[in-house]
Structure 1
Amino acid sequence: MTDRYCVLGNPITHSKSPLIHAEFAHQTQQALEYTAQEAPLDGFADAWRAFVDAGGRGANVTVPFKEEAFALCDTLSHRARRAGAVNTLILGGNGRTYGDTTDGVGLVRDLAYHRVALAGKRVLVIGAGGAVRGILEPLLGEQPSEVVVVNRTAAKAEQLAHDFADLGSITGGGFDTLDGTFDVVINGTSASLSGDLPPLPDALFAPGAWAYDMMYGSEPTVFLQWAGPRGAKLLDGLGMLVEQAAEAFFLWRNERPNTAPVREVLRQSLNYS
């Protein structure tokens, strides 16, 4: 029987994950089937169990179910426990569900792919939701000189800084606390999807700085459109999507695919969709 995997989310029809994993499977000559499955907003756990009952071996989890995925797991990786969220489910041989998160390692690997240095750099992260919580441990693991988290609700950013303070230099607050310039600025909010721009000062970017939006599309996001004229080099989250998928594929199949050609396929799919 062909091993079955899927991505669970709601909505899910827009997902590029089936394309990515089809490319990985072809490249590594693995016989597997990967589909997109919409889970009811009030029935995520049931959707996972139904998929398992139908022969499913693992799943990616996307919005809005990453916290629910965390809650249903029998065993969690260290990084999933730290993030408080799961984006990769693995069915163990004993029928138990193992949860991991690959978002943070996906971001760090994408930055490394583009030769964006983090060690000794001042990094700004915008937002304090689940997406940001999932990237802070790997980000701090790269030993930046400082990570600053800002959010419209300052208390949420302050709480994140408190939760991760044991891993490195990290502070949190509201946008009014921003001071100085940054070498890497990461937009971890979904504001770009609705065309909104956080209230950022114009003098935000140090010389040679990078602006990174965890969102992506066929056109630059609103955040990147704002950052470009202010001197930043620009990256969107497409590479992060591919890299986190590659890590999930490795967890399932114990084989690490080459992400470079898949990045190109995915970029072309956006340009011609």
Structure 2
Amino acid sequence: MSTPRITGKARLAGVLGHPVAHSLSPVLHNYWLERLGVDGAYVPLPVAPDQFVTAVRGLQAAGFRGANVTIPHKEAAFAIADEVAPMARVAGSVNTLVFGEDGRIRGSSTDGFGFLASLEAEGIDIGAVRDRGAALLLGAGGAARSIAAALMERGFSVIVTNRTATRARELVETLSQAWRDHAAGAMPALSTLPWDHPAGVPADVSLLVNTTSLGMAGGPDASWAPDLTGAADHLIVADIVYVPCETPLLEAAATRGLTAIGGLGMLLHQARPGFRAWFGAEAEVDAATVAYVSAVLKR
């Protein structure tokens, strides 16, 4: 008889959300666990907001190694962590909790890491992109803040634009204060740009990132794409939406001859730090991983 993968010594982790049935994290982590032969399991944990603290303490008591956190629990995760990584403090978001043997909870944000790793996996030289111009972020939500913090850490000037201009200004003000409070070194330039002015993407922008749900299948505007005619020829276009894999924005970028990066890579790469912390193994985002998760998305 072969040795079972899950034993009484199994390492356990999961994802807390409300709802959580849509999450691809269990698919991804359990694929890696089986592929690497790790004695462990990763489970979906549907937890109502008023039960979040109780659930986290219960997972600690039950011997879990930690958990991912998704909507609507990221603020609560930030609050419950005994230690929060500096850039997670700048991002104002925690999506990964690690339960230490000392009883302390350590929180981090891996979204920004996942985004940058997805670019590097496509052969993008982050430093070269930074040196050619600013990063323009479409949207002013939690994903925008996490990605902006990661870009700022790499020295990017960041411009934020949002359909509601006040939200873009609030994001820049909040990020600026958080950087001064928690980050080391000089703060890169942070600014806003009106959503509809100037038309299209300015020529001095080297990286365009859509952090909104625009272009998402079933979203508020599934056919949305900005005007890219005036963009620089070296512009990198990234979309964190991964359903569909090629959004109208990415199609427009490809038509214009620009480098286009989809959102699936960010989803996969952001999971790697948590997997390493909980299961003690390095997960690889390779062609087999992409193919497996893509097949699940198409079901």
From 117, 120, 135, the equivalent of 1:109 is 117
Compare 188-197 and 101-110 and name the one that shifted more.
Answer: 188-197
For the residue of structure 2 that corresponds to 1:120, the secondary structure is: helix
**Aligned residue in 2 for 1:14:** 22
Distance 1:232 1:137 in 2: 25
Q: What's 1:52 paired with?
A: 60
What code does the residue aligned with 2:91 have?
A: A
Cα distance in 1, alignment partners of residues 281 and 97 from structure 2: 17
Match of 2:192 among 172, 188, 199: 172
CA contact 1:205–1:230 (8 Å) conserved in 2: no
Answer yes or no: is the 8 Å Cα contact 1:208–1:231 preserved in 2: no
- Equivalences for 1:84-123 in 2 at 5 Å? 84-117=92-125, 118-122=129-133, 123=135
Amino acid at match of 2:132: K
Alpha-carbon distance, 1:128 to partner: 1.0
Residue 183 (structure 1) aligned with residue 206 (structure 2): yes
Mapped to 1, the partners of 2:265 and 2:284 lie a distance apart of: 12
Q: Distance in 2 between matches of 1:204 and 1:12?
A: 41
Does structure 2 retain, via aligned residues, the 8 Å contact 1:175–1:199? no
- Is the radius of gyration larger for structure 1 or structure 2? 2
User: Cα distance 1:172–1:249, how it changes in 2: closer, same or farther (>3 A)?
Assistant: same
RMSD in angstroms over aligned alpha carbons?
2.4
- What is the CA–CA distance in structure 1 between the aligned matches of 2:171 and 2:26, rounded to whole Å? 33
The TM-score normalised by the length of structure 1 is 0.88
Structure with greater strand percent = 1
Q: How does the TM-score come out when normalised to structure 2?
A: 0.81
Identical positions, percent: 32
Larger CA deviation: 45-54 vs 56-65: 45-54
In structure 2, which of residues 12, 19, 22 is the aligned counterpart of residue 4 of structure 1? 12
Quote the residue 1:142 is aligned against.
154
**Whole-angstrom CA distance in 2 between matches of 1:231 and 1:265:** 29
Aligned counterparts of 2:10 and 2:272: Cα–Cα separation in 1: 19
Contact 1:216 1:238 in 2 (8 A): yes
1:23 aligned onto 2:35: no
Kept in 1, the 8 Å contact 2:152–2:158? The answer is yes
**Runs of 4+ off more than 6 Å:** none
Letter in 2 for 1:180: P
Task: Tell me the amino acid that sits aligned with residue 209 of structure 1.
Answer: L
Which segments of 5 or more consecutive residues in structure 1 lack a partner in the other structure? none
- Find out whether 1:38 has 2:38 as its counterpart: no
Among 115, 136, 142, the alignment partner of 1:130 is 142
- 3-state SS of 2:93 partner: coil
Whole-Å Cα distance in 1 between the matches of residues 172 and 225 of structure 2?
A: 20
Report the alpha carbon displacement of residue 83 of structure 1 after superposing the two structures with TM: 1.0
Q: Deviations over 1:70-128 (max 9, x none)?
A: 01111111121111110001111122211111110110010011122333133211111
Q: 1:43 to 1:205 in 2, by over 3 A?
A: farther
Q: Does 1:157 align with 2:168?
A: yes
Aligned to 1:248: 274
In structure 1, distance between residues paired with 2:110 and 2:254: 28
Q: Does 1:267 align with 2:278?
A: no
Residue 9 of structure 1 and its aligned partner are, at CA, apart by 1.2
2: CA distance, partners of 1:204 / 1:243? 31
